[in-house]
Amino acid sequence: MAGLELLSDQGYRLDGRKASELRKVQARMSVFAQADGSAYLEQGNTKALAVVYGPHEVRGSRSKSLHDRAVINCQYSMATFSTAERKRRHTETLYPRSQIDIYVKILQADGGNYSACVNAATLALVDAGIPMRDYVCACTAGFVEDTPLADLCHAEESGGGTSLALALLPRSGNIALLQMDARLHQDHLDTLIEAAMTACKGLSEVLDGVVRQHLEEVSVLTRD
Amino acid sequence: MRDTPLSNCERRFLLKAIEEKKRLDGRETYDYRNIKISFGTDYGCCIVELGKTRVLCQVSCELVPPKDSRPTEGIMFFNLELSPMASPAFEPNRQSELSVTLNRQLERCLRNSKCIDTESLCVISGEKVWQIRVDVHVLNHDGNLMDAASIAAISALSHFRRPDVTIQGRDVTVFSPEERDPIPLSIYHMPICVSFAFFLEGSYLLVDPCEREERVKDGLLMIAMNKHREICSIQSSGGIMLLKDQVLRCSKIASVKVSEITELINKALENDRKIRKEGGKFGFAESMPKQRITTLKRDKAPVEMTDVEETASDIVNTTETTTEPVPSPVLVGMGTAQVGEGIVNSWGLDEEEEEDDEPQTEDTKTDEVMVISDSEEEEVVILNEVQKSKKTSKQK
């Protein structure tokens, strides 16, 4: 997208944000009554919906079940393009021989689809009551003219510049997922990861606030 | 066919060895296996051997209408196939998870990094562009398919020559290689993937895991770089938790490895070019070693040789003499002989079962009827010429 300045001289981006500013994040938990856990997350214009079922008995082939841990089945689909990608990860040494299903759907994509999914899935898992070591927060970061940008929107992502998607466990600083495309000089890698990590930490505080608020609402309703 | 599962002791052995910084083939932590790149007789065909992992890549081109969204750019198409000959776990025509991951990785590494100038592939804007098709086939799986595939793909792309074209108005003339020399693709840089396998909760890492090491790994970090120290792609998979400095350290190691591998590729390309120019023989058949002396070389093992003769004579004297040989065959009946007695049936079958099999009618004249085989299923009965009525032979 030539001609569009991703970062103006005054340091403002296309949508008026500063370099390290995140988009507005809004989230709601327990949006579906049927599922064990569900969450709806809006990160700017990107809207993601996540639903969690489980832990339950392993469906399909018995051979998929592990004797000492749960199998997590994730299905990610975009509403507009209807591409479904299935990924299976084996984690959580609790719940042996069971399966946890996570379904994530993107309702509106405006950059940072993957990170919105991860964040929505985290909230849905918390809503389902599955014990987790830490929140998993994800955020994208980009690089334009020696300045790292946090939380890219679609125009910035497809501009052909660098984009890094990072999923972080904020408390321990462990990176759960690191995915980067497009060319970036090795020396800039450090600054880029740093920027993404700070953005994730900020995001984790927002998610934490959402969870606490939801708990308050639920406890108020069930008190009487 | 399902792959043989890794036994627990093998897993423990591998992890213990990794803890002690030892690898199965004696490499160091950051060592790559022997890389051998060979080109075929046609342009754009390349086989890469990374240790025992073997990958074949073929590049071909075709004139097609361009994509609507990008009318002035050529199209790159990548396809990676896990051939069933590579490993018993690969089934034909089945899109396994590994195949999908490798395909996506290859695409991201080569397409998004814009290593090929796609604008130069345009012939007539909006109507005809070159579609470059990169087919990677895995011939033998011994670990680290991604690295081998990326090396093969970029070598084949660098080796490839597309036909020359001229445009007169709306007419496009494609020249065959005999008419005009084919043109190489314009490649900006060579992105090469380097894989790091993590073990034991991310505390140990290995570069270029072989197949056994891959089975016990916790997770994989794949960094694609070019020799200008630009990172083209990073992907972490598996359930591992990384720390930022681990990632930075890996990228430093990757840059060193990538420059070495790029050197190798350039040398191989140079060699191939020289041989073709001089008119020498080139191609896969030439690159496979022909005369090979296969010997079984055994290390000299020290053997205690003193007192050999005395010990030998002692052993000979103290052994018991062998038993008498089996007596000569005993003639049982006309045309039937029996040698030896046969040992007792030690299969633990009940004695009653065996007796029930034989019908009572047979036992009336036992001196003429002999049961030779004591198998339950087959009953062979010897007939005497005189007894015609006693003909019973029960066979399964």
pLDDT, tens digit, for every residue of A132-161? Answer: 878 888 888 888 777 788 888 877 777 767
Q: Decide if pLDDT at B202 tops 80.
A: no
Q: Decide if pLDDT at B151 tops 60.
A: yes
Q: Residue B177: is the preceding peptide bond cis (ω within 30°)? A: no
| Model confidence pLDDT, tens digit, residues B87-99 | 887 877 766 778 8
Residue-by-residue DSSP string for A61-77: -GGG--SSS-EEEEEEE
Give the DSSP H or E segment for B205: strand B204-207
Q: Decide if pLDDT at B382 tops 70.
A: no
Q: Which residue has the tokens 């009554």?
A: A33
Range with the poorest average pLDDT among B167-181, B302-316, B355-369, B370-384: B355-369
SS3 A197: helix
| Model confidence pLDDT, tens digit, residues B82-131 | 888 888 878 777 667 788 888 888 888 888 777 888 888 888 888 888 99
| Model confidence pLDDT, tens digit, residues B32-50 | 888 989 888 888 899 999 8
Instruction: Report pLDDT for B355.
Output: 45
Question: B152: distance to nearest CA of chain A, Å?
Answer: 20
| Model confidence pLDDT, tens digit, residues B335-354 | 888 777 777 777 776 554 44
Instruction: Report pLDDT for A144.
Output: 77
User: Cβ A186–B255 below 8 Å, yes or no?
Assistant: yes
More confident residue, B344 or A38: A38
Percent of chain B having pLDDT more than 70?
A: 80
User: Cβ A177–B221 below 8 Å, yes or no?
Assistant: no
Angle B186-B188-B191 from CA coordinates, rounded to 5°: 120
Query: Mean pLDDT, chain A, as a whole number?
Result: 77
CB count in 10 Å sphere of residue A30: 17
More confident residue, B290 or B201: B201
Which chain A residue has its CA at the smallest distance from B189's CA? A183
Helix ranges restricted to H, chain B: 8-19, 97-107, 145-159, 211-215, 244-278, 284-287, 308-318, 351-357
Structure tokens at A184: 């970036």
Percent of chain B having pLDDT more than 90?
A: 13
| Model confidence pLDDT, tens digit, residues B257-280 | 999 999 999 998 998 888 888 877
Helix ranges restricted to H, A66-188: 113-128, 154-157
**In what side-by-side order are the strands of the sheet with A46-57?**
A25-29, A37-43, A46-57, A98-108, A71-78, A84-90
User: Cβ A182–B244 below 8 Å, yes or no?
Assistant: no
A180 → closest Cβ in B229, B231, B252: B231
Q: How many helices (H) and strands (E) does chain B have?
A: 8, 16
- The residue-averaged pLDDT of B350-369 equals 46
- The residue-averaged pLDDT of A166-179 equals 83
Instruction: Report pLDDT for B359.
Output: 44
Instruction: Report pLDDT for B56.
Output: 93
Question: B142: distance to nearest CA of chain A, Å?
Answer: 23
Which of A56-65, B104-113, B205-214, B338-347 ranks highest by mean pLDDT? Answer: B205-214
* Nearby residues of A166 by Cβ (< 8 Å), 6 or more positions away: A115, A138, A139, A140, A141, A175, A177, A178, A179, A193, A196, A197, A200
User: Cβ B241–A193 below 8 Å, yes or no?
Assistant: no
Q: Decide if pLDDT at B58 tops 90.
A: yes
CB count in 10 Å sphere of residue B136: 26
B241 → closest Cβ in A87, A169, A185: A169
